[in-house]
Amino acid sequence: MLSRKCTIELGPETFFPSLYTVLIGPPGVRKGTAIKYMVNEILNHIKGFTMGPSAVTKEQLCVELETAQTQENIDGSILTHSSLFIIAPELIVFMRENDHERLGYLCDLYDGLTHFEYKTKTSGSNYIVNPGLWLLGATTPNWIEIAMKQLGVGGGITSRIIFVYSAKKGKHISITRMPGFDKSLQTALINDMAEIKQLSGKFHITNEADDTFTDWYDGRYKNTRIDDSRFASFWDRLPSMIIKVAMIVSAAKRSTMVVEAQDIVNSVRLLEHILPEMPQAFGGLGYSLLSSQTEAIRNVLREYGSATKSYILHYLRHNLSEWDYHRCRDTLCAEKFCSREFSREHGEEVLVLLKPKQGLELEPNQEDDNDNDD
């Protein structure tokens, strides 16, 4: 809703709240269902809001961006921008397998170019002023692993994507007992989104918010990171994501276009909440020949806490040989992810998880009185 008509200037940098967000999980965890409800019950009811197609060629995407061009009167000046929101419930349809060129210009569009030109041999060129692209997609770790192998070190496009991972559904409810939509809440959300859509111009950050961000940047951010080398580039981009999400949090609370200290706190909390699970979004993606099998054993141990050798070999029988098992087990034990024990009860080797949670150790939430309505 804020699109590229809302910005915040910090030093030499100008940010606008563009985000690439991808819901990740195995089939059946309701990623696409969550997106479907949002589109059908909220976005489709907001006047003047349009979405780009999820299945589109590179050339047509540039046409869609050019077509989305609009002008805003901001403090007496005219701003021309082209903002486009893409919904991709099946990410593979939008982000084609190993399409290096598409991934490259998705990076360019994310980085806030003032203009973007795309030339073709037969169809002329598209010149886009102040392009802004927003992406909400969903896919599985298997597709990331199979179709995006060139991203094994976590650079490029993956360092610009917020991966929201879940291994299973949050609740298990019979479809015959699911409650209907709350119509009053639906109406309130639609009205709020429409109001947010009217905002334009520059956001400002209070001195207290500046202090809060600097304290986080010099402290918690500096002293922690995701314990997965594939996310090193993502970690470098995290501070700018904190600012972008803080702008969104501010707009969701009030129309003053001011980022307050609590907005920074909430932004940090939102992102830190998903960081510990984020490495699972990549599955076994990497350069090791046994990375997929090793990650599969990790997932079994994350789920059950311990597992016998026979169960692991049976459960992963289509992907794991006994010879591979021994090599993966030795790697997991060497990194102290699990221990190797002998069970008299089962009469065989058992792997026992040593790290129930990987990643950041989060501090308790410290909500203020004004955040309980969320």
Q: Record the tokens describing residue 196, joined without a space.
A: 């947010």
Cβ neighbours, 10 Å, residue 225: 17
| CATH number of this structure's domain 3-281 | 3.40.50
Q: CA 150, CA 219: separation in Å to the nearest integer?
A: 33
| pLDDT of residue 373 exceeding 50 | no
Rounded to whole angstroms, what are the CA distances from 97 to 100, 145, 147? Answer: 9, 11, 5
Residue for token pair 């001195």: 207
Q: What is the pLDDT of residues 172-190, one digit of tens each?
A: 888 899 888 999 999 999 9
Q: What is the pLDDT of residues 342-367, one digit of tens each?
A: 999 999 999 999 965 444 444 444 44
* Burial status of residue 128 (CB atoms within 10 A of its CB: 0-12, 13-18, 19 or more): buried
Closest CA to 356 of 332, 333, 329, 337: 337
What is the pLDDT, as a whole number, of residue 72? 86
| pLDDT of residue 129 exceeding 70 | yes
Q: What is the pLDDT of residues 228-245, one digit of tens each?
A: 778 888 999 999 999 999
- Asked if CATH classification 3.30.750.24 holds for the domain at 288-353, the reply, yes or no, is no
Q: pLDDT confidence of 277, banded at 50, 70, 90?
A: confident
Q: CA 155, CA 234: separation in Å to the nearest integer?
A: 8
Q: CA 332, CA 295: separation in Å to the nearest integer?
A: 9
Contact 113, 82 (CB under 8 A): no
Q: What is the largest CA-CA distance in the chain?
A: 79
Q: CA 33, CA 52: separation in Å to the nearest integer?
A: 19
What is the pLDDT, as a whole number, of residue 97? 59
DSSP H or E run through 133 = strand 131-139
Q: What is the pLDDT of residues 74-90, one digit of tens each?
A: 888 888 888 999 998 88
Mean pLDDT of 368-372: 47
Q: What φ, ψ does residue 48 adopt, rounded to 5°?
A: 85, 0
Q: CA 124, CA 137: separation in Å to the nearest integer?
A: 30
Mean pLDDT of the chain: 85
* Burial status of residue 336 (CB atoms within 10 A of its CB: 0-12, 13-18, 19 or more): exposed
Cα 38 from chain centroid (whole Å):
16
Q: What is the pLDDT of residues 200-222, one digit of tens each?
A: 999 999 999 999 999 999 999 98
What is the pLDDT, as a whole number, of residue 249? 97
Task: List the domain boundaries for the chain.
Answer: 3-281, 288-353
DSSP H or E run through 126 = strand 125-129
Residue for token pair 């041999």: 121
